[in-house]
Chain A
C-alpha cells in the first residue's frame, strides 16, 4: 500500500469543514470519512487532526457538543456554524482556483 500523501498545508481545514458539512461527526468519524471518501489515499494524522479541530473551534467556524454514539458511548460531535459554512465556501473557491492553476501549469509545460 503506498504511503498516504501528506496533506497540503491548509487543506486539512478544508477537508474537515467539508467532511462535517452534511452531518455532524466526531473526530474519529471525520478521520474515517476523509479516508473513505479519498479512496484511502488521504489519511489524516491524528497528531494534526485534533489541534486542527481545536483551532477551528476557537475561530468559531465549528462548534461541538457531547452526544451518544450509536455504540452507546459519549463522543464530541462537531457541527459547522453559519460562519463556518461561509468559510467553507471561501476555502472551496480558493482551492478550486489553486488546483486549476496547478493543473494549467502542469498541462502547459
Chain B
C-alpha cells in the first residue's frame, strides 16, 4: 500500500515534474501571503510587510531546490540528461555510431541466436513425465566399442532378468502406404513394442494408448497418429478416432492422436505409431532402438552395473551374444549427442564474434575518449566528479549496446530461421524454438554486460586524468600517450588472435567439406535419378508377380528418350534402406566373430551396376541367365574380398547368408559409398532380384537433366498400376546435398562468422593505426623536417602494424591449436591440426590486415611537415 503510494509519488515527480514544481511555487506563494498579512496585522505598511516576509522565508528557489532533492529521482533525471547528451554525441558522429552499432549487432545477434537454440535443445526438459528417469539402451560390441541397435530377443531376456527398470520398450523404423486419402502415399512411422507410451508417460491428445489386448499378435492393427499427420490428412477432425484407415492394404483402427508437442528420439519424423509384431530373429539380430525407464531412486550407474552383469550371463548362455555388452545412457544425452557438438562450435564461434565486437567497440570508444580528453577535463575542472564522468561515458556505451541489441535481435531471428532450415527436419527445431522469459533475461543481461564490457575500460581510462596537463594539451601532443596506445594495441592483438582462431576453424571445416564433395563415391552422381515404389504385399503376393512387374516396367523406362538405362534394387545409395547379414565363406572353418563377416546385402536387377556406374573389376555382371531356378550366384565388392577372403581369388568360391543356400561368386565390383561421402565403404554382397524379389527403388541413368524424364516415368507407372505410391524422387546430387546438409550449414556458418571477425579485426587494426598516425602528425612532421623520407615513415607505420599482427597471430595459432579438437567429430579427411590450415589462417589474416594498414601508412607518409608543425 505504502509502496504503491511511494511509487506513484516518484512517478509523478518524474513525469509531471513541471506540475509538481508549479504546486510547490503556489504553496510557497501562499505561505508568503500569510506571512505578509501577519506583518501587516503587526502594523507594518504593505511594502515593508512583503519585504520582511521575503526575508523571513528566504530564497524560494533554494527551498524549491531542497524540495526537489527530497524527491529521490535525481539519479533518474540525471540519467535522462546523460542519455539525451549521449544520443546527441552519437548523432554527431554517425560513422562511428553506425560502425559500433553494426559491430555490436553482429556479436549480440549471434549470441542470442546460439542461446535460443541451446535453450530450446539443451535446457528445456523433454516433454515426458519425469524425463530424468528415461534412458536409451544400446548393445555394445565389446571389441569395437561401438554402440549398436538392440535385438528383440536380447531385449526380451534383459526385460525378464533386470530389477532396475520400471518399464522397457523398443522401437523400429517403419513405412507403409496410405490409400484412400488422395493419392497413394508412402508414410513413415514407428513400430513400438508393448508399453512404449506408458514408459514415456506421454498421454495422447485424443483417444488412448494401445491396450495390452491390442498389442497381442493378430490384434495389433491399431495406430496412433501424429498431430501433423492428423491435421494434414484428417483435417484435424476429432471424430476420426475409432475409425479405420488403410495402410499398405490393411485396415488399421485409429486409437488416438498424439499432441503436437510430442516427439521422440529418431532420425526421422514419425507420422504414426503402431504395435510391433513379434518375430524371432534370434540373438544375432540388432535392429531396434531400445529405451527404458529407471525405477525411482535407481541411478544410471546402478542400472548399467546390473545390465552388464546380465549381458555377461547371456554371453555364456547364447553363442551369438559372445562379445556383446549393454550400454545404458540418459535419454537427454542420447537425444542430443548429434547436435550438442554442433551447438558447441556454434557457441564458440558466436562468443568469438561477440568478444571481437566488444573489443572493436571498446577500441573505438577508447580512441574517441582520448580525442575527447579535453572536453572531459573541462567537465572535471567545472566540478564533475570522476564517478559522474564515468557514468556519462558508460551511458554512451550502454546506449550503443542497446542500439546494437535491437539490430542484433533482427539478426538473431534471421540466424535462427537459417538454423531451422539447416537442421534435420525430424528434429522439428522450428516447433522447439520459442521466446521465453529466460531468453529475454539473457538478452538484457547480455546487452548490459556488452555495454559495460565495451565501455568500462575506456570510461575509467578516459576519466583518469591529470587536469592540468589535459587542459594544456591541445589534443595534438608531440607523441600520443604511451599508455593509451598500449591499451589500444592490446585490444587489437586480442581481436587478431580471436580472428585467427575462428579462421582456422573455418579453414578446417571448409577443407573437410571440400573433401566430402570430392570424395569418390564409387558411382557416377550426375544424371542419376532415383525414386521409391513399394509393391504392396496385398496385391503382389509372390515372387512371380513381383518379377513380372519389374520385367515389364524396366524395359519401358529404359526405352524412354533421354534414359540410358534403368535398374531396380532393394536399396540405392542414400535411399535410407539398409540390410546387412553375416556371411559365411566356403572352406573357412575357423569360427569368426559374426560382426566381422557382416556385409550389406542387396538384391538388384542385372542393369544395376551399369546404371549406377559402379565398375566391374572381375568376372561378370548379372545377366538374363540368372533366373530364379538357375545356379544361385552373388557379386561382391572389393572390400568384401579384402575383409572376408584376403589374399584369395574370389571368383568361383562360394558364400552363403546364415542358413541360406551356397552362392557362387561370379563377379567383383568396385567399392561404393552407400551412406554417402562421410561414411566408410562397407563390404557388400549383391544377389540377382530373380532370387530375392522384393525391390523398393528404381534408378535411372539419364543423358538429359534428370527432372525432364520424370513426368514420362510417372505416366508409365500410372498406366501399369495407378495405386502405386511414388516417393523420394531425387537426383543423386540432391541426395548428396541432403546427406551433407549439416556439414554444409556448419561450414557456411563458421566461415561467415570468421569473415565477419576477420573484417572486424582488420577494421580495428586500421582504426588504431589511423588514430595513432593522426595523433603523431606533429612527431612525423618533425621527423620529416629533419630529413626522414615518406617511405621511412610509412614503413615505420606498417612495421608497427606488423608487430601487432605477429603478436596476435602467435596467440591465435596457440589458441586454435588448443581448440581445434572440439571440431574433430565434424572433420572428414582432415586432422584437427592440419598444418596447411593452421599456417594459412594467420597468413590470410596478415595479408588482409597489412593491406588495411597501407591507408594509414600512406597518410603518414603524405604529412606536410610545415603544416603539421604549424598546427599547434
Please give the residue numbers on chain A whose beta carbons come within 8 Å of chain B beta carbons, in ascending order: 26-28, 31, 46-47, 50-51, 54-55, 57-60, 63, 66, 73-76, 81-83
Contacts and interface: CB of A to CB of B under 8 A. Distances in A.
A28 B70 contact: no
Contact of B5 (A26, A46, A74, A81): A81
Contact of A83 (B1, B26, B57, B71): B1
Nearest to B67: A54
13 contacts: A26-B30, A31-B31, A47-B57, A47-B62, A50-B27, A51-B63, A51-B66, A54-B67, A58-B9, A58-B72, A60-B2, A63-B5, A76-B27
B30 A46 contact: no
B23 interface: yes
Interface of B: 1-3, 5-6, 9-10, 13, 23-24, 26-28, 30-31, 33-35, 56-58, 62-63, 66-67, 69-72
A52 to B, nearest CB: 8
A60 B34 CA distance: 27
Contact of A51 (B3, B10, B34, B67): B67
A75 B56 contact: no
A14 B810 CA distance: 71
A57 B67 CA distance: 11
Q: Which of A50, A66, A82 has the most CB of B within 10 A?
A: A50
B31 A46 contact: yes
A74 B23 CA distance: 11
Given A54-B67, A54-B71, A58-B9, A28 B26 contact: no
Nearest to B68: A54
Contacts of A28: 30-31, 34-35
Given A58-B70, A74-B30, 12 more contacts: A27-B31, A28-B30, A28-B34, A47-B57, A47-B66, A51-B63, A51-B69, A54-B67, A60-B2, A73-B33, A76-B27, A83-B1
A50 B23 CA distance: 12
- Which 8 residue pairs across A and B have the least CB separation, nearest first? A51-B66, A54-B70, A55-B70, A54-B67, A60-B5, A60-B2, A28-B34, A83-B2
Contacts of B24: 50, 54
A60 B31 contact: no
Q: Which of A51, A55, A59, A82 has the most CB of B within 10 A?
A: A51
Nearest to A76: B27
A60 B28 CA distance: 21
B70 A51 contact: yes
A76 B26 contact: yes
A57 B23 CA distance: 13
Contacts of A76: 23, 26-27, 30
Contacts of B5: 60, 63, 81
Contacts of A51: 63, 66-67, 69-70
A75 B6 contact: no
A83 B2 CA distance: 7
A50 B28 contact: yes
B54 to A, nearest CB: 11
B58 A47 contact: yes
A12 to B, nearest CB: 13
Contacts of B69: 51
B67 A60 contact: no
A50 B71 CA distance: 12
Nearest to A69: B30
A81 to B, nearest CB: 7
Given A54-B67, A75-B27, A46 B56 contact: yes
Given A51-B70, A54-B70, A46 B63 contact: yes
Contacts of B35: 28
A46 B58 contact: yes
B197 to A, nearest CB: 58
A54 B66 CA distance: 9
B61 to A, nearest CB: 12
Q: Which of A66, A74, A76, A82 has the most CB of B within 10 A?
A: A76
Contacts of A26: 27, 30
Contacts of A50: 24, 27-28, 31, 63, 66-67
